[in-house]
Structure 1
Amino acid sequence: MFFENKIWAAAVPYKENENNTGNVGEKLCILPAMANRHGLIAGSTGSGKTISLKVLAESFSDAGVSVMLADVKGDLAGMCEKGEDSSDINARVHKLKLDEAGFSYKAFPVRFWDVYAQSGLALRTTVTEFGPLLLSRLLELNQIQSDILNIVFQIADDEGLLLIDIKDLKAMLNYVSQNSKRYVQDYGNISSQSINAIIRSLAVLEQRGGDMFFAEPALDIEDWFKTDENSRGFINILDSSSLINDSLTYSTFMLWLLSEFFEKLPEAGDLKKPKMVLFFDEAHLLFKDIPKALMQKIEQVMKLIRSKGIGVYFISQSPKDIPDEILAQLGNKIQHSLRAYTPAEQKVLKAAAASYRANPGFDTFKSISELAVGEALVSFIEADGSPSVVSRAYILPPQSKIGTVDSQLRKSIIDSDILNKKYFQTFDRDSAYEFLCRLNADEQQEQLLYAAKKEADKLNEKEEAAEKKRKEQEEKKLKRNIAGVGTSALGTIGREIGKDLGSSVGGKFGKRLGGNVGASFARGLFKTLFKI
């Protein structure tokens, strides 16, 4: 920036000492080594928070520090163009004697990102990297369903299955549901009703564009630590104008970004300046109805991420929008005007005033409600780690354009970006969905083979039974034929013997009777021998 080596934000105006610090003309800045002590920009609507954000981002960029901005209203995109003269800015430059310090308008190196890949480079991640904790919040699952989702993630991890996109997770949920008995002993009961509820929530997420966010190539955060040819840090602007329409989606994605930097970066220790600074606008949404487990995770991240060279700055209307555990860690503060008309608002204003190191030159509580647009109470961390005495000052004017940017210019910047080729086209590698499809196909083939073998066995059994029956019938027929011939022959022999015996006993009548009896006896004897 036009001031070197520090992160400049504000200045006490060159005018008669009127409710100021007493140090007229003092330039107020964040020491680069203390920029990772996090910060807060607060103030009511229209008080100048966006300008404070832009000025800090410009100064970080000039210092070679990369920046991430969540562009909720679309008015940060203009940082890619140099600023323009206006009566307000000219008056501010003259009042603060900035022209003497070398103030000039200029553009900054900007990289546009967009979850929906429409207004910037595609910002994507995988289901595994997003994790079950944030995904449960995004899907609005109850505690039981969240526990089931955690189990499914654990099973996928234990069995080496990649969860990249939503179809992977759906396939995994169905697989676990169908094989739940296998997992009872190691993971507990897995309710099919909970599985079905999660799948329904995933279907809703797909309709909201979730299938575009969970895909590959996933974000490589190293791409955010880039500088231009002049060693200025890139300002990564995440278009959030569509995301903000769904506050739950917006807040969850912002918390994912925060956790992504925390989990991926190594320890860096005390640095002369941060690697990157993250600015989260509409910060009150991040902590609205946040689950206890997630809140604990964010608290841990905020305490430890600064040792990885990351500074986090929240922008919101009131300090009360930030949980006390987080607020206590925000050392660099810019407080714009707050209006207090009700007892509750008065209480908030008093708490805000009490959080500053008092300045004997003015009443902090009274000043907060009197600040004009572009004015702020400023307190930054000093070299010894203590907060500076609060100062009432003017925020410096931005050097880049205030407002949005022409769509054609935005498109040309995106198209010419060296990273566009890397993130433009998605790819679908082999993951849980493909593996489970093959597994199902193999199982179906095995079932078909088993059914075919079973049917073949049945046919063989029928053929063997028919052959056995045929043989038995042939044997019986043969026996009957033999018996027929045998009984006929024996009958004749028996008849002749019977006649001889009968005639000797009874004459002609005895001969006939003896022949009949002899034939019957002979046939009966044959049948008994052959068991016909």
Structure 2
Amino acid sequence: MEQTDKFKEHINLGYTFKKDSFIIGTGMLDQQALNGAQVKIPLKTLNRHGLIAGATGTGKTKTLQVIAEQLSLKGIPSVLMDLKGDLTGLACPGTNNEHIEKRCASIGVPYEATGIPVELMSISNEKGVKLKATVSEFGPVLMSQILDLNDTQSGILSLVFRYCDMKHLPLLDLMDLRSILKYVINEGKAEITKEFGAVSSNSVNTILRKIIELEQQGAENFYGERSFDVEDFVRQESGRGVVSIIRLTDIQNRPKLFSTFMLSLLSEIYETFPEQGDQEAPKLCLFIDEAHLVFSNASKDLLEKIEAIVKLIRSKGVGIFFCTQTPTDVPDEILGQLGLKVQHALRAFTAKDRKAINKTAENYPISPFYETSEVLTSMGIGEALITALNEKGIPTPLVHTLLRAPVSRMGILSADEIDNQVKKSKLVSKYNEPINRESAFEILEEKLNNAAPENREKEAPSSSKRKASAKEKESFFEALSKNTMVRQLGRTFFRELTRGIMGSLTNKKR
């Protein structure tokens, strides 16, 4: 009894906060959940980022669901990268049962089934709001890192972006980028050489091949207009934060597309959101499921950029949470920046597994009540070791925690329910309308046709792939005069805009 009292006192001292927080579970000692030892997460330090780790089937996704729910109920919006298709159930109330009642009684919280306001999104063919970004918004630095270019190739890409800025050639999609690269080593070679110096045809052809590789992973659906405004992530409905679920189930085997999108999103948020310092609660939280897909395919330079953004984005009021199987999936430089750590069970079947578990245990504070490496292999489903940061930035005690159950549906939405969610969306009409205005591809094609009239008949079929006829498309300057396009042009075209930490356009003039 004395040991139990000491444990409760230990937990209550570590998890009592002056500012707002939410209950994530209750402490466990000797495999027993203890009432009166509630584990809480303070909102104030959630912009210090976090980790949700554990072996397959230990409850990581439900933990992510619980945290997203509690944030929404506190009025904080979040963005969820849903690679497995497990999270759409957030939109509907959960179902109570005897097991949930028992768990809630142990934790000391009532079970109140409720749905959370959800916005379904996609960067591919999944149903929902279509998220897009233009090549110009990515900029030469980020595009070079995504394509894994060497210094020479990166220099050529920077030259191309500079040329397009000077000549007012909008780079909207990958076809625009391929067109200007071909122009640089063919018809425009003399002009480019006079302006910037000689450009290697071999290097340009290598860049073109890497663009084709990116297209084969489905990137052509992502690059283009209308560009998504990240301010649309920061919304509330009836006082609850909207959870934006980005459905990525059809790109699990295309890690380059996933990492491309994730990095562009982080860059855009960082460059767009104003500085706000440490507030009482985060402005937005992002949850990146299957985070190993980001890091396992990233170059050294790209990892350095990710590390820089993770360090700096907290000042924008944004928290980033990585969900993966083991902490070792996340680079040490980034792992050291994470404040909240939720560690589910790990499996030890081999000597290599046991070494990994011992290494994992070293990432957590020492507890007088647990042997961390032993607890890591003995926890059940819905249990986790948790440590967070208190309001002073000090790590809270490590606690073996019985986690609360989600208040929303633990299953997924049916096809009809997904259709109904999409129909209710206020953003679908804004972003799903196709836009195909005149850009670098059409401008260069017209320039070449005017320069060589005898080739017009031969070139016409290629041009028709993008637009039915020259008569049907607006000129660039006609588009400029229309209010509906001004924002897009401002985001992607004017060379006066500067480029930020990831080399992407800063949209502070919007």
Q: Normalising to structure 1: TM-score of the pair? A: 0.77
Report the equivalent of 1:212.
Answer: 221
SS in structure 2 at match of 1:428: coil
The Cα shift of 1:81 comes to 0.6
Deviation at 1:206, TM superposition (A): 3.7
Structure 2 residue aligned with 1:435, among 420, 443, 456? 443
Aligned equivalents of 2:321, 2:126: Cα separation in 1? 26
Corresponding position of 1:40: 51
Determine which of 23, 29, 34 is the counterpart of 1:8. 23
Distance in 2 between residues matched to 1:41 and 1:215, nearest whole Å: 33
Aligned position for 1:244: 252
Partner of 1:398: 406
Whether the aligned pair in 2 keeps the contact of 1:109 and 1:232 (CA below 8 Å) is yes
Distance (Å, rounded) in 2 between the aligned partners of 1:290 and 1:189: 30
% identical equivalent positions: 37
Instruction: Using the TM superposition, name which of 114-123 and 192-201 deviates more.
Output: 192-201
Please, which of 156, 159, 162 is the counterpart of residue 167 of structure 2?
159
1:181: how far off?
A: 4.0
Is residue 18 from structure 1 mapped to residue 26 from structure 2 by the alignment?
no
Distance 1:183 1:415, change over 3 A: same
Letter in 1 for 2:26: A
**What are the residue-to-residue correspondences of 1:29-108 with 2, within 5 Å?**
29-99=40-110, 103-108=111-116
Alignment-derived partner of residue 310 in structure 1: 318
Residue 322 of structure 1 deviates from its aligned partner by: 0.4
* CA–CA distance in structure 2, aligned partners of residues 188 and 249 of structure 1: 33
Match of 1:150 among 146, 158, 174: 158
Q: Distance in 2 between matches of 1:385 and 1:205?
A: 41
1:133–1:294 CA contact under 8 A, matched in 2: no
CA contact under 8 A between 1:138 and 1:249: conserved in structure 2?
A: no
Distance in 1 (CA, whole Å) between partners of 2:195 and 2:267 is: 29
Query: Aligned-pair distance for 1:437?
Result: 2.7
In the TM superposition, residue 19 of structure 1 has moved relative to its aligned partner by 5.8
The structure with higher relative contact order (CA 8 Å, sep 6+) is 2
Report the AA paired with residue 180 of structure 1: K
Q: Check 1:116–1:289 CA distance in 2 against 1; reply closer, same or farther (3 A cut).
A: closer
SS of equivalent residue, structure 1 residue 25 = strand
Matched letter for residue 172 of structure 1? I
Structure 2 residue matching 1:372: 3-state secondary structure = coil
In structure 1, C-alpha distance between the alignment counterparts of 2:174 and 2:22, rounded to whole Å: 42
Shift of 1:319: 0.5
Measured in 1, the distance between the counterparts of 2:262 and 2:233 equals: 15
Q: Alpha carbons of 1:190 and 1:360: their partners in 2 closer, same or farther (altered >3 Å)?
A: same
**Aligned pair partner of 2:120 in 101, 104, 112:** 112
How far the C-alpha of 1:20 sits from its partner, in A, is 7.3
Cα 1:81–1:447, aligned 2, differ >3 Å: closer, same or farther? Answer: closer
Give, in angstroms, the shift of residue 139 of structure 1: 4.2
- Following superposition, the deviation at residue 440 of structure 1 comes to 2.2
Distance (whole Å) between structure 1 residues aligned to residue 55 and residue 362 of structure 2: 18
Counterpart residue number, 2:302:
294
Pairing of 1:409-420 with structure 2 (within 5 A): 409-420=417-428
Aligned mates of 1:372, 1:416 — CA distance in 2: 39
> Are the equivalent residues in 1 in contact too, given 2:35–2:106 (CA < 8 A)?
no
What letter corresponds to residue 302 of structure 2 in structure 1?
A: L
CA separation of 1:27 and 1:157: change in aligned 2, threshold 3 A: farther
Q: CA deviation at 1:429?
A: 2.3
TM-score under structure 2 length normalisation: 0.80
**CA offsets, 1:136-170, max 9 Å, x none?**
45545555444432332232234332211122112
**Residue 263 (structure 1) aligned with residue 263 (structure 2):** no
User: Aligned-pair RMSD on alpha carbons?
Assistant: 2.4
More displaced, 274-283 or 247-256?
247-256
Secondary structure in structure 2 of the residue aligned to 1:245: coil
Between 1:80-89 and 1:69-78, the stretch displaced more is 80-89
**Distance of 1:412 and 1:140 partners within structure 2:** 41
- In structure 1, list runs of 5 or more residues that go unmatched: 449-532
Preserved contact between residue 259 and residue 301 of structure 1 (Cα < 8 Å): yes
Secondary structure, aligned partner of 2:322: strand
Specify the code of the residue in structure 1 equivalent to 2:92.
E
Mapped partners of 1:412, 1:19: distance in 2: 43
Amino acid in the other structure paired with 1:7: F
Partner of residue 123, structure 1 = 131
- Are residues 43 and 446 of structure 1, via their aligned partners in 2, closer, same or farther at CA, if it must alter by over 3 Å? same
Q: CA deviation at 1:248?
A: 2.3
Distance 2:156 2:23 in 1: 49
Q: How does 1:120-199 map to 2 (within 5 A)?
A: 120-139=128-147, 141=149, 144-178=152-186, 179-184=188-193, 187-199=196-208
Q: Any residues of structure 2 matched to 1:495-506 within 5 Å, and which? A: none
SS of structure 1 residue aligned to 2:245:
strand
Do 2:35 and 2:107's aligned partners in 1 also have CA atoms closer than 8 Å?
no
Q: Secondary structure at the match of 1:277?
A: strand
The answer for the alignment partner of 2:470 in structure 1 is none
Q: Does the residue aligned with 1:377 lie in a helix, a strand or coil?
A: strand
Match of 1:338 in 2: 346
Query: Structure 2 counterpart of 1:18, which letter?
Result: D
Structure whose CA Rg is larger: 1
Structure 1 residue 187: deviation in Å?
A: 4.2
Task: State whether structure 2 residue 367 is matched by structure 1 residue 352.
Answer: no
Describe the superposition over 1:53-102 as per-residue Cα deviations: whole angstroms up to 9, x where unpaired.
00000011111111100111111001111101244323312322323xxx
Does 157-166 or 390-399 show the bigger shift?
A: 157-166
Aligned 8 A contact 2:21 2:43 in 1: yes
User: What's the offset of the Cα at 1:5?
Assistant: 3.7
Within 2, Cα distance between the matches of 1:257 and 1:124? Answer: 10
C-alpha distance in 2 between matches for 1:156 and 1:369: 56
